Amino acid sequence: MTSRPARWGSGILRWTSLRLRLVAVFAAVALTAAVSVSGIAYWLNRDAVLTRAQNSALNDFRDSLQRNAASLPVEPTCMSLNDAASRIGDADTYEVVLISRTSDGQDCAAPSNRDVFTLDDVPQTLRTAVNTRHLKDDGKYHLHWERISLQGRPYLVAGAQINGGGPTGYMLKSLDAERKDLNSLAWSLGIATLLALIGSALLAQAAGAAVLRPVRRLGEAARALGEGKLDTRLKVTGTDELAEMSQTFNNAAEALEKRVEELSARESASRRFVADMSHELRTPLTAITAVSDVLEDEADALDPMIAPAVRLVVSETRRLNELVETLMEVTRFDAGTAKLRVDEVDVGEQVMACMDARAWLDSVELDAPRGVLATLDPRRLDVIMANLIGNALKHGGSPVRVTIGEDAGASGGAGGSGASGGSGGSDAGGDIVVAVSDNGPGIPEDVLPHVFDRFYKADASRRRSEGSGLGLSIAMENAHIHGGDITAANRPEGGAVFTLRLPRRPRANGQNGGGQAAQPYDAVNGENGENGDSGSSGSSGDGTAGGAQK
């Protein structure tokens, strides 16, 4: 089941990936639209405000200039220019400067307010434009204007020369009031843009919740389906694409549930068939085995032409008997009826007894300190070691070495070149580690993940070899029932190594990182053990190791 931190992490990831992107898109669109509209509105209003203000001022200036300066003589006196400038200028509206050549041949500049506006404030470009005759308009002078900034404040400067040789007048009008109005408008549009951005974010949040809620439910349903809850279904509402997606998920889940039920039924039928067949074969095999034993005892007295056939029948009968016992062991694991008959044993002595029973003492190097005690099922340990050592002898290279040690921290990686020897006599906590290594060619990398699969054989040419392909899988099941595990790897110096890791006492909950959970185990002597479980799968003395694979 998915942990709560993992769900929180996935939720945060979903938020930062889908919902945040949706909010960002909404916000970007709203911001773009708001900025565009605000910008257009600002520039339109700015143009309208400035145009209205300057047109009003220019028209008033033109009319006042005609009324007060047109009557002046061609060469007026400075006093008359000052009087005209005072009449034209309006401190509340604009200031003016009148320029003309006087009767004594001097240039006179008469400002309405010398402290506010003088001829020096008029741009040279404007002076040139004002003093230029327009030949296309009968050589008349036109009114010209510019917007300038003086001491950080905006102004409108305009100038005109009275046609007919009259004086030239310049006007200065402050646009500070219009600037304040435009600044207020800009602040209003900025606030409106911010509100639009906040509104779009809230709208995106609501839309994201509406869109992502079905997606989140779909994710939760898919996770539940992956955890084995095949009856998980989604509620379908509406007719949009999300509803269609939910319906598609429901159809897929229903088809998967039916398929799994069919496969489970077939698997159960296959297991029942194997179990029934194994039990049914035991009775005739018992009779055949008895007859084959008699024939084996009389093989020397038989005709030399018949004796090889008799020995072949005896050998194949024993092989068939071992295969039936192995299949029965498999059915016990599959049915969950396999139990442990535990006793406190010396692991080294048990491994040595296993090797001695199969005449492997001369073929295998044993590094086993005495006093490595553990509470386990001796028969199942014998099955495990018979398969691992037999597999190394059959498919590996000499010398085969068995190393027994202890892992006090239970943190060392399995599958090394051998277990480190533990201190003798120690029964402290930690795991028992048994490594079986050989000096053969090793295990191909594509075969390593499958060495513990049932009926798997790496070499297709050995499909009909002595092994059944169940030996290592049986060994793994016997390790799992103790709460342990077996790993396979290749040694850097060459050869393969199988590492068995067993707890000192069987873990009742099978917390071994994978495989079948450990079954309840009986007390010493196994008084309540299952009937007929005394067969030793893969423990025959011919070294076949119950069909060991590689």
pLDDT per residue as tens digits for the range 325-363: 777 777 777 666 678 888 899 999 999 999 999 889 888
According to the model, what pLDDT value does residue 276 have? 72
According to the model, what pLDDT value does residue 17 have? 60
According to the model, what pLDDT value does residue 139 have? 64
Are the beta carbons of 452 and 388 closer than 8 angstroms?
no
According to the model, what pLDDT value does residue 488 have? 92
According to the model, what pLDDT value does residue 164 have? 61
Residue 249 one-letter amino acid: F
According to the model, what pLDDT value does residue 112 have? 83
46-58 pLDDT per residue, tens: 888 888 888 888 8
According to the model, what pLDDT value does residue 403 have? 92
Write out the two tokens for 253: 């889940």
Write out the two tokens for 550: 């590689």
Sequence-ordered list of residues with C-beta below 8 angstroms from that of 276, at least 6 positions apart, any chain: none
According to the model, what pLDDT value does residue 497 have? 92
Question: How far, in Å, are 288, 388, 465, 503 from residue 544 at the CA level?
Answer: 21, 11, 10, 27
Question: What's the CA gap between 116 and 501, in Å, rounded?
Answer: 100
> What torsion, rounded to 10 degrees, do the Cα atoms 286, 290, 295, 298 define?
160
According to the model, what pLDDT value does residue 218 have? 82
According to the model, what pLDDT value does residue 3 have? 53
User: Strands 521-522, 340-341: parallel, antiparallel or unpaired by DSSP?
Assistant: parallel
Write out the two tokens for 201: 């974010």
Instruction: Please give the model's pTM, rounded to 2 decimal places.
Output: 0.46
According to the model, what pLDDT value does residue 544 have? 34
> What torsion, rounded to 10 degrees, do the Cα atoms 122, 123, 129, 132 define?
70
Q: Which residues of the chain have pLDDT under 50?
A: 1-2, 8, 12-15, 410-428, 460-465, 509-550
User: Nearest 5 degrees, angle CA 402-CA 404-CA 410?
Assistant: 130
User: Strands 153-161, 144-150: parallel, antiparallel or unpaired by DSSP?
Assistant: antiparallel
Question: How far, in Å, are 105, 222, 230 from residue 251 at the CA level?
Answer: 106, 13, 12
Question: Which residue is associated with the tokens 């604009």?
Answer: 94
Three-class SS of residue 146?
Answer: strand
According to the model, what pLDDT value does residue 409 have? 53
148-160 pLDDT per residue, tens: 888 888 888 998 8
